Amino acid sequence: MTIPETVRFEGGIDGRLFMIDQTLLPQEFTEILCPTVEVVWEAIKKLRVRGAPAIGIAAGFGVVIGVQPALDKSRAEFDARLAEVIDYLATSRPTAVNLFWALDRLKKVGLNAGAEESPRDVAEKLLAEALQIQSDDRAICRAIGKYGSALIQDGWGVHTHCNAGGLATADFGTALGVCFACAEEGKKIHVYADETRPLLQGARLTTWELMQRGIPVTLICDNMAAQVMREGRVQAAVVGADRIAANGDAANKIGTYQLAIVAKEHGVPFYVAAPKSTFDLSIATGVEIPIEQRDPKEVTCGFGKQTAPDGVDVYNPAFDVTPAKYITGIITEFGVISPVTEENVRKALGE
């Protein structure tokens, strides 16, 4: 089963950007057209596109869309527009480091462009860079899947949280990429997917992807993880990440930290699957990772139905940070970092 691209760009510098609207899955599969940078910003902010690698890809193409109105203006006007677009997209979400990594790559393209190059010449280079980010991610996902699959045995149960599959990347996924690689190799695994409150990315997206590929999956509520592990149903946990500090502390969807603690208690190896672009070596530990706070209505009025009294105080962080001591290994496109220490992280990343 081939799942359509999460982010799809058609044509040249005057082309069009499409995204799967993940807020409508699994009931409705719809691609949305993103004709302006404002629509791209809204798609990232509202989680129509989500998952750290996919956010980075969307931001790259968003820059191309954003500079289209300045293609036939002066170079000075084009450069000003490029800077404005990059700064604007950077305000969409604070935690996923891939967003800023991709924008920095596009910014360098603009800064390195020769003064004699026309706006259209620079735009061609911007588009080429955005396409390269997407292409690289496809290869990265496959490599992560390969290294991760070696850690999973035939017949195992695999626990995952949120969605780190093809919908969150350019192709295969990170955490789910491990599961997909296992299936391609003929391993019989059974995935236990947390629903992932409050926006149910696990229930809506992860189960959908696994079912599309014919991989057995059981959906559980987030607060059932300890019982599932106590019963011996899972032998490994694999999750994605949105930002990883130099010491290996990993930020991921809220609820990941408690899953890691439960896994430690039950002797279940806990793996984080993420590409090099998700590491932020400028941050020493996870304490420094900015945590996005989201609309309280996501908790009190989830999917249009009010489930809490008016006026109740709500705390709604989108992410939490799992300390490196709870992480058995970080699965990257270069191999598995284990044990997870700053020395091993920097060595693996060539820093």
Positions marked catalytic: 242
Contacts of 310 (CB under 8 A, 6+ apart): none
Residue appearing with tokens 């690698």: 53
106 and 56 in contact (C-beta within 8 Å)? no
Contacts of 2 (CB under 8 A, 6+ apart): none
Angle, helices 37-45/75-89, rounded to nearest 10 degrees: 10
DSSP string, 140-182: HHHHHHHHHHTT--TT-EEEE-S--SGGGSSSS-SHHHHHHHH
CA-closest candidate to residue 107, choices 96, 117, 118, 99: 99
Whether residue 119 is preceded by a cis peptide bond, meaning omega within 30 degrees of 0, is no
Using DSSP's 3-state secondary structure scheme, residue 244 falls into: strand
